[in-house]
Amino acid sequence: MENVGSLVLAAQDEITAAASTADLKQIEIKYLGKNGLITSLMRQMGSLSAEEKPAFGAAVNTAKATVQESIDNRFSALRDVELAHRFEAEKIDVTMPGRQTRVGYAHILHLTTLKIKRVLGGLGFRYEEGPELEDFKYNFDALNYPPDHPAMDDQDTFYVADDLVLRTQCTALQGRIFAQEKPPLRVFTVGRTFRNEAVDRTHNHTFHQVDCFMIDENVSMAHLKGTLGTFARAMFGPEVKVRFRPDFFPFVEPGVDYAISSPKLFNGRWVELGGAGLIHPNILEANGIDPQKYSGFAFGLGVERIPMMAYGVDDLRLFLENDLRFLSQFQGIAA
């Protein structure tokens, strides 16, 4: 019996000293658990006489109840303290200003594309899209490339299969249109193009091109120059001049590259924009268009070139890196 009393006293000392509800759980297990110190006292019953048994049993039960009650009381006191601490720690200051949500804005290449569409659409050209994963045939063969042209090499072109490439130029759209439509035609496209090239400040593996062509009776270099001049002035300002120089592309004859100059851009220096020319008679013939009756012009240029020149961006890789410190500078620019 003394043993029971001293266990209760020991338990109560520990209960009073417990610093947390977790400590209290351990004390509960230690004394009242299945193999707890008080619970185990019952095992002594067997060694007691029949007269002693009831009193011992009652004493153990009372001890259990006493310790349990002490634990319960201490538990609720400790839990109140712990909750108060937690509430304090997790307190929310509802008067603090909220976190700002960022509002999205259009990417500068998208804005440039919208402007191109508006300008060329306004000149009477119809917008069409071709696939980025293009038939070798449309990317090269239909554009009058000789079989050994270096652009077809693995070094320059991403091949997906022998007859399937990531288009290297938006000019690939021409063959798709010619296969379905007859002149007069005025069509343009804007889209992503891919080249397996060494990447530097003016070359990326993924970039964008505008490509535009027109076929009708008596189309000449004068129409090309007039259209490009109007396009360039609409994109860069009314002071812009356009210059042609001879260049070679298999799909045009004569072929040119063209540059623009404006007193407001690059101190009036000439800056090359892209390639152009009159659509090669071989291409017209291959598509059943009579080159005696019809002629056409085509031009293409890099979309990135436009904001690079307009805003003085010196590295075109920035456009696709998605660094908001760069992109946010174009926030608020009207399309």
Q: Which residues would be at the binding site for ligand FA5 (CB under 6 A)?
A: 169, 171, 195, 197, 203-204, 207, 209, 211, 249, 252, 274-277, 298-302, 304-305, 316
Q: How far is CA 21 from CA 74, 309, 321, in A?
A: 8, 70, 53
Rounded least distance, CB 319 to ligand FA5, Å: 9
Angle at 117 between CA 114 and CA 119, to 5 degrees: 110
Rounded least distance, CB 99 to ligand FA5, Å: 38
Using the minimum distance from each CB to ligand FA5, give the nearer residue, 36 or 277.
277
What is the C-alpha to C-alpha distance for residues 65 and 72, in angstroms, rounded to an integer? 10
Rounded least distance, CB 227 to ligand FA5, Å: 12
Using the minimum distance from each CB to ligand FA5, give the nearer residue, 104 or 312.
312
Using the minimum distance from each CB to ligand FA5, give the nearer residue, 249 or 330.
249
Using the minimum distance from each CB to ligand FA5, give the nearer residue, 70 or 227.
227
| Amino acid sitting at position 277 | G
Q: Provide the CB-side half-sphere exposure for 259 (13 A, CA).
A: 12
In the chain, what is the straight-line distance between the N-terminal and C-terminal CA atoms, in Å?
A: 93
Using the minimum distance from each CB to ligand FA5, give the nearer residue, 60 or 173.
173
Distance of CA 105 to the CA centre of its chain: 14
Using the minimum distance from each CB to ligand FA5, give the nearer residue, 63 or 276.
276
Using the minimum distance from each CB to ligand FA5, give the nearer residue, 70 or 209.
209
Nearest to 279 by CA among 233, 241, 223: 223
Rounded least distance, CB 147 to ligand FA5, Å: 19
What is the C-alpha to C-alpha distance for residues 139 and 295, in angstroms, rounded to an integer? 21
What is the C-alpha to C-alpha distance for residues 330 and 281, in angstroms, rounded to an integer? 43
**Residue of minimal CB distance from ligand FA5?**
302
Helices (H), the chain: 2-17, 21-32, 52-89, 108-122, 136-139, 173-178, 221-236, 281-286, 305-311, 324-327
Rounded least distance, CB 207 to ligand FA5, Å: 4
193: left (phi over 0), alpha (psi -120 to 50) or beta: beta
Using the minimum distance from each CB to ligand FA5, give the nearer residue, 191 or 274.
274
Rounded least distance, CB 209 to ligand FA5, Å: 5
CA dihedral for 151, 157, 160, 166, sign (positive or negative): negative
Rounded least distance, CB 206 to ligand FA5, Å: 8
Residues across the chain: 335
Rounded least distance, CB 290 to ligand FA5, Å: 21
Using the minimum distance from each CB to ligand FA5, give the nearer residue, 4 or 185.
185
Q: How far is CA 316 from CA 108, 115, 182, 259, 260, in A?
A: 12, 19, 37, 18, 19
Tokens standing for 281? Answer: 């008679």
Rounded least distance, CB 126 to ligand FA5, Å: 17
